[in-house]
Amino acid sequence: MSLNRFENLRRYLHISKPTLESMQSPIPADDDENIDEFWWWRLELMLSTFRDWCQRYFILGSAVSIDEIIVRFYGRSADTFKMPGKPIKQGYKIFALAQDGYIWHFQLASKQHGIAELEKVNELTATSSMVFQMAQLLPKFLNAHFVIYMDNYFTSIPLFLMLRKENIGAVRTTRPLGINFPALLIVLRKKHSTKLEWGTTVADIVDSVLCIRWQDNNFVLGLSTIHTVYKASSWVNSRRNRPGPTSTNAAITKRVFGDCPFRILQILTWVDDYNYNMNGVDLANQHRQPYDTQRIAYRTWVPLLHWILD
């Protein structure tokens, strides 16, 4: 199909507003009278059907990841997020649960209205509640064990405790937030993040959640409910390449390699598992990018339609 023909077809593409009876997703509380304000409701029937079939066609393994996706849109909308430091500077935000590049479940988010279909938990923040809500959708069959990998946008010790009660493991990097975070790790991060040797490990347990500090190119903090640091199985051998000569934040790592281009080093199993399993959503973005059909659009629902198509 030529570009001109594609544009002519897309120019007259229209999706009628859905009726309340046709919607499968619940309407946010007290907002049923203002349904036209929500940019995702025009595509709600398509989104719900597409999401249901995503779960039907794929059997999840034990390791899943949750991360955010940005759908590019620079038009006028109070629902878009602006993130100057990201590759996509502005667009709609989607939280996705994925494995090996396959998106199994997702929820839309709006800067104005928050996360769609969110079931808020009193003890958790909105994003932590969203993670817990997704975790409860994981298949529950005999001997099923899942581990969720997240970055520091989602992590909190209360969330990990609630996931543990649901027999779901959790691993993530984190920032030293919250009154329960070990004081020693906070002090090390503030005053000694560039003074310790590579591979230095400090750990503490808070409410059955392991808090880890590991020295790599930079100071790494993490949480886990499935790892340890005192057993032989807590460490694995990994081939690590020497940082490039222009790397400005790898002075500590360079001393380990000397003149060798690579070395076999012992790293925490927590680090190895996180690096291997965290990229499920990123792989989905990479698979989609070479065949991206996204075009400049002024209608707010068009970018989401192209995202489903891709």
- Shared domain for 127 and 220, answered yes or no, is no
- pLDDT band of 147, cuts 50, 70, 90: very high
Question: Within a domain: residue 1?
Answer: no
- Shared domain for 100 and 117, answered yes or no, is yes
Residue 169 predicted with pLDDT over 90: yes
Handedness of CA 187, 190, 194, 195 (dihedral sign): negative
Higher pLDDT, residue 24 or 167 = 167
Tens of pLDDT, residue by residue over 68-97, are: 999 999 988 888 999 888 888 999 999 999
Domain with 229, as residue range(s), is 160-277
Residue 65 predicted with pLDDT over 90: yes
The two structure tokens encoding residue 123: 């003890």
Question: Within a domain: residue 12?
Answer: no
Tens of pLDDT, residue by residue over 205-250, are: 888 889 888 888 778 888 999 999 888 889 999 998 888 877 766 7
Query: Among the residues of 112-182, which ranges form H helices?
Result: 126-135, 157-165
Question: Within a domain: residue 309?
Answer: yes
**According to the model, what pLDDT value does residue 250 have?**
75
- pLDDT band of 27, cuts 50, 70, 90: low
User: With contact defined as beta carbons under 8 Å apart, do 178 and 157 qualify?
Assistant: yes
Which string of b and e fits 178-212 if b means at least 16 CB within 10 Å? Answer: eeebbeebeebeeeeeeebebbebbbeebeebbbb
What is this structure's pTM?
A: 0.85
Question: Within a domain: residue 282?
Answer: no
Helix axes 44-56, 302-309, angle to 10 degrees: 20
- Shared domain for 222 and 254, answered yes or no, is yes
The two structure tokens encoding residue 257: 């390699």
At 25, which amino acid appears?
Answer: S
Instruction: Give the whole-number percent of the chain exceeding pLDDT 90.
Output: 33
- Shared domain for 121 and 236, answered yes or no, is no
Residue 148 predicted with pLDDT over 90: yes
The distance from CA 19 to its chain's CA centroid, rounded to whole angstroms, is: 32
- Shared domain for 126 and 239, answered yes or no, is no
